[in-house]
Structure 1
Amino acid sequence: MANQLDQLTLWLKEHKITEVECLISDLTGIARGKISPTSKFINEKGMRLPESVLLQSVTGDYVEDDIYYELLDPADIDMLCRPDENAVFVVPWAIEPTAQVIHDTYDKQGRPIELSPRNILKKVLKLYADKGWKPIVAPEMEFYLTKRSDDPDYPLQPPVGRSGRQETGRQSFSIDAANEFDPLFEDMYDWCELQKLDLDTLIHEEGTAQMEINFRHGDALHLADQIIVFKRTMREAALKHNVTATFMAKPMTGEPGSAMHLHQSVVDLKTGKTVFSEDDGTMSELFRHHIGGLQKYIPEALPLFAPNVNSFRRFLPDTSAPVNVEWGEENRTVGLRVPDSDPQNRRVENRLAGADANPYLALAASLLCGYLGMIEGIEPSAPVKGRGYERRNLRLPLTLEAALERMEQSVTIEQYLGTRFTRGYVAVKRAEHENFKRVISSWEREFLLMSV
């Protein structure tokens, strides 16, 4: 640890950093922490934050008292946050030279905090390492650009591009439609390059002013860190150009939802070769079992892929999103797609996670489900050929309430992710859902006000 901190100190001095944003991720994926002068950061070698930060809902509220005091010390004690020298990024939009440093969280005995999303992902990655395996992932992030609005009751609208016009219709893969926002994306790419984010391609997705950024394949923890940083970067670049970037799963009525597609494969730590292919290039038994595990356990872990009420609007019929855990080769209508590739790059694409999911938790859950299939020898169903939207045998829970109940009852998810985390996560999401139910929607006013 001391050597790592020495390297981090040198990096901060070399880049003439004057401020450090000390970050952790809460359950939602919101960056929480403190902003510190560099000299103070170097001297203190970390920060303290109350453990209760990890039980905050997206509205800033907390879980019910009985669960709160069951999971946390009644004195609201601090946890110790230590910087990770491999998770240090500049902040290109800051006025003064600033760095953001992602921290790990520990208790006073030096044990990882069980409620921490980053620790959850590290726990799952250790399961693989103990078997001599290493997961390789490649996330794809979809998002919308919209007009800025200060009225949450007003529906979002597409932004005005360089031509002075709003985009209309579906512009899938249109170069010209993406070029409407060239100045914004130039800033975004410049900033991501300065932060050394592993971006690959930018495409215009199906929705109006909906875009997708693909990341190059790599280490799961490092890429989860990068997604947290990318989301901040994309929002800041949009604000600079007077538009909004949103990663809501379903921000606009009548438009497709936004996903975080997760490509995942597994290699042998000693040889670097994939365990998903046999020597003759055919699918391995471990690959089939990985898919079988995803099919069996994703429905039990669904709130980690679809964490909000809004997330489930992606799964409505005819919304271009998969609604089941069927699988198929080169098939985008199922939840688990096997892209065409050479044997060494054989992988499965989990298409169920929403762009609103916490990247640490979505990756942890997806990799855990596949791991369980591998160690339990779970055989997958027959692959789907043709349209998979109407398949009903492997359907997902239809609402957040049903999904939370399914996760709460899962002995396996609790066993591997921990009782404290599972209870805390479900409690936070239930608190958010209770908050949501107190708000009267425009649909209710429009159709019920004068009719019932």
Structure 2
Amino acid sequence: MNKIEAFLREHRITEVECMVSDLTGIARGKIAPTAKFMSEKGMRLPESILLQSVTGDYVEDDVYYDLLDPADIDMICKPDDEGIYLVPWAIEPTAQIIHDVYDKHGEPIEMSPRNMLKKILRLYADKGWKPLVAPEMEFYLTKRNEDPDLPLQPPVGRSGRQETGRQSFSIDAANEFDPLFEDMYDWCEAQGLDLDTLIHEEGTAQMEINFRHGDPLHLADQVLVFKRTMREAALKHDVTATFMAKPITNEPGSAMHLHQSIIDAKTGENIFANADGSMSQLFLHYIGGMQRYIPEVLPLFAPNVNSFRRFLPDTSAPVNVEWGVENRTAGLRVPDSTPQNMRLENRLPGADANPYIAIAASLLCGYLGMVNHIEPTAPVQGRAYERRNLRLPFSLESALERMEQCTDVQSILGEKFCRGYIAVKRVENENYKRVISSWEREFLLLSV
């Protein structure tokens, strides 16, 4: 009996949600009775879902004619026995199982975000290195919103009142939503998610969940599952949980901060620290690679038009790739820690980023720095918000243009993945530009 079959029998599972992550991070797939799932040992899905936009649209055929089979054939989806989780909110005993995707020849499909992360992890394994990551997920709780033209509002807590003002790290403000978080924690425990701490963030009804450090692929799976879990827990309590990067005007954005370190696969020692506790040359090169390449692949961390609203001035988010020790105004922060825990925090990814893609991109930038011996700038002292030497692209359009020209990254991620990703994001951007906003109606309708 294999691991999946044993899990399904132990939990008396009657339905299986077979899922893969698309480029946006949406879980797509099929729901099957357990008997059918076990008899087929997987599923088939159209290749084209990997080029589906967040609006449900597809890239034009003349753009991706050579990225996927023109007949829109099926890809073969195989379950990963390390990617099986319960669905605690389901009425019937249900499991969700993450699948990997392959072509008809059994080769991993390049457009798959999960396959892309696996490719980057193999680069590290070939060097005898093992990355560790710890995501920090920020999100907002809001009132249910049925009209997308209306701004989001803070939800009503146990006191019967809406939260007002900034409540950073307030225990009482977080406790306003105790019943919701009790369900969330119970469900995450049932799924075996490696949650660490819950804090109230700076924004009104903005929260943060931290994960314990671990294997990047396992943590990316967990973030995918957690986002589904958090949204379901919120719906049960008649509120909404959103991972938009900038959901509310004049409130801070939501990030997916990524703590990352590298250990020697044989010795288990942290290669970012010297024996005396100082930063190793490899660590400095890792930082140099982040500084050099993050501006070239920013759409992998900030994938949506809304993502770039988080980078506006005075939004509490870093707008550069400066680095510093214990400096949260820099895009790259080195927390004060013991030598074995020496790590870098990448503060640039948004909560809306696909976890597989963001983790892979972050590790790739650091990897290129180490293998190419890229030296970092001097660490920044004081506030880095106003520094302009290492600023990021200001819009999704300009960021996509820079990514399109970065041959170093394309040579590793693959030309097909980069072309497909950029094409999908341009489709989404064009759809966005067709919508007339409330700002335009308010200030232009009777004024121009």
Specify which of 411, 416, 425 is matched with residue 415 of structure 1. Answer: 411
TM-superposed CA distance for 1:448, in Å, is: 1.0
State the secondary structure of the residue aligned to 1:84.
Answer: strand
Indicate yes or no: 2:163 matched with 1:163: no
Structure 2 residue aligned with 1:9: 5
Asked if 1:226 corresponds to 2:186, the answer is no
* Residue matched to 1:246: 242
In 1, distance between residues paired with 2:435 and 2:252? Answer: 24
User: Which of 360, 366, 371 is the aligned partner of 1:370?
Assistant: 366
The aligned counterpart of 1:354 is: 350
Letter in 1 for 2:137: M
In the alignment, the residues of structure 1 paired with residue 248 and residue 274 of structure 2 have an alpha-carbon distance, to the nearest angstrom, of 45
Match runs of 1:273-312 below 5 Å:
273-312=269-308
Structure 2: which amino acid aligns with 1:216? R
Question: 2:18, 2:441 → 1: CA distance?
Answer: 44
5+ residue gaps, structure 1: none
User: For this pair of structures, how many residues does the alignment match?
Assistant: 448
State the AA in 2 paired with 1:424. G
1:323 correspondence with 2:319? yes
Q: For residue 111 of structure 1, report the CA deviation from its aligned partner.
A: 0.5
Alignment partner, residue 268 of structure 1: 264
Question: 1:107 aligned to 2:103?
Answer: yes
- Aligned counterparts of 2:404 and 2:336: Cα–Cα separation in 1: 36
> Partners in 2 of 1:10 and 1:173 — Cα distance?
42
Q: Aligned partner of 1:177: which letter? A: A
Is residue 255 of structure 1 aligned with residue 251 of structure 2? yes
Return the offset for 1:25.
Answer: 0.1
Question: Aligned residues: percent identity?
Answer: 79
- Match of 1:41? 37
Q: Is 2:378 the counterpart of 1:382? A: yes
Tell me the distance in 2 between the aligned counterparts of 1:257 and 1:281: 34
Pairwise CA RMSD: 0.6
1:333 aligns with 329
Partner amino acid, structure 2, of 1:222: H
1:271 partner amino acid: T
Deviations 1:380-405 (A, max 9, x none): 00001100000100000000000000
Kindly state the Cα deviation for residue 39 of structure 1 after the two structures are TM-superposed.
0.6
Q: Displacement, 1:407?
A: 0.4
TM-score (norm 2): 1.00
Partners of 2:380 and 2:70 lie apart in 1 by 52
1:128-185 deviation digits (Å, cap 9, x = unpaired): 0000000000000000000001100000000000000000000000000000000000
Give distance in 2, aligned partners of 1:288 and 1:338.
11
How far the C-alpha of 1:280 sits from its partner, in A, is 1.5
Q: Equivalent residue for 2:198?
A: 202
Once the two structures are superposed, what CA deviation does each residue of 1:263-309 show, in whole Å capped at 9, x if it has no partner? 00000000010100111111100000000000000001100000000
| Rounded Cα–Cα distance in structure 2 between residues aligned with 1:433 and 1:180 | 37
SS at match of 1:100: strand
Equivalent in 423, 431, 437 of residue 427 of structure 1:
423
Question: What secondary structure is seen at the aligned counterpart in 2 of 1:423?
Answer: helix
Aligned partner (choices 177, 182, 185) of residue 178 of structure 2: 182
Once the two structures are overlaid, the 10-residue window that deviates more, 216-225 or 275-284, is 275-284
Q: Secondary structure, in 3 states, of the residue corresponding to 2:66? A: helix
CA distance in 2, matches of 1:48, 1:190: 33
CA deviations on 1:96-130 (whole Å, 9 max, x unpaired) are 00000000000011100000000000000000000
Structure 2: unaligned runs, 5 residues or longer: none
Q: Which amino acid aligns with 1:394?
A: L
Report the Cα offset of residue 52 of structure 1. Answer: 0.1
SS of the equivalent of 1:140 reads strand
Q: By how many angstroms is 1:450 displaced?
A: 1.2
Deviations 1:196-243 (A, max 9, x none): 000000000000000000000000000000000000000000000000
- For residues 44-193 of structure 1, the aligned pairs below 5 Å read 44-193=40-189
Q: After TM superposition, give the deviation of residue 68 of structure 1 in Å.
A: 2.7
Give TM-score scaled by structure 1 length: 0.99
Deviation by residue 1:315-345 (Cα, 9 ceiling, x = unmatched): 0000000000000000000000000000010
* Aligned counterparts of 1:320 and 1:118: Cα–Cα separation in 2: 30
Shift of 1:7: 1.9
Q: Distance in 1 between the 2:4 and 2:69 partners?
A: 32
Match of 2:353, SS? Answer: coil
Question: Secondary structure in 2 aligned to 1:71?
Answer: coil
Secondary structure of the corresponding residue to residue 252 of structure 1: coil
CA distance in 2: counterparts of 1:425 and 1:68, whole angstroms:
10
* Aligned mates of 2:56, 2:228 — CA distance in 1: 19
Number of the residue aligned with 1:214: 210
- Per-residue deviation, residues 393-421 of structure 1 (Å, max 9, x unmatched): 00000000000000011101110100110
Instruction: Point out 4+ residue stretches in structure 1 off by more than 4 angstroms.
Output: none
